[in-house]
Amino acid sequence: MSDWAGIAWLFVLLAFNAFFVAAEFAVISARRSQIEPLAERGSRSARTALYAMEHATLML
């Protein structure tokens, strides 16, 4: 693998890592009191967020 390809892979993997760290931080810092009413109204994304909050250790 050339040096440039290795550097490109480094940045791709770094970007993926940054995305997952941001997603983890968003789930942990989200307010349940704001998400629960949305889930009760039928928001699929709010239900998914609640599931992620309840199973944070599984998500990590």
Note the pLDDT of residue 4: 92
7-58: pLDDT as tens digits? 999 999 999 999 999 988 988 898 999 999 999 999 999 999 999 898 888 7
Rg value, the chain, Cα: 17
Task: Provide the token pair at 14.
Answer: 């770094």
Quote the DSSP letter at residue 60: -
pLDDT higher than 90, residue 59: no
Containing structural domain, residue 1? 1-58
Provide the greatest CA pair distance for the chain.
53
SS3 string, 24-52, reads HHHHHHCCHHHHHHHHHCCCHHHHHHHHH
Number of domains in the chain: 1
Residue in the block written with tokens 């993997």: 13
Note the pLDDT of residue 40: 94
Name the pTM for this structure: 0.67
Note the pLDDT of residue 60: 67
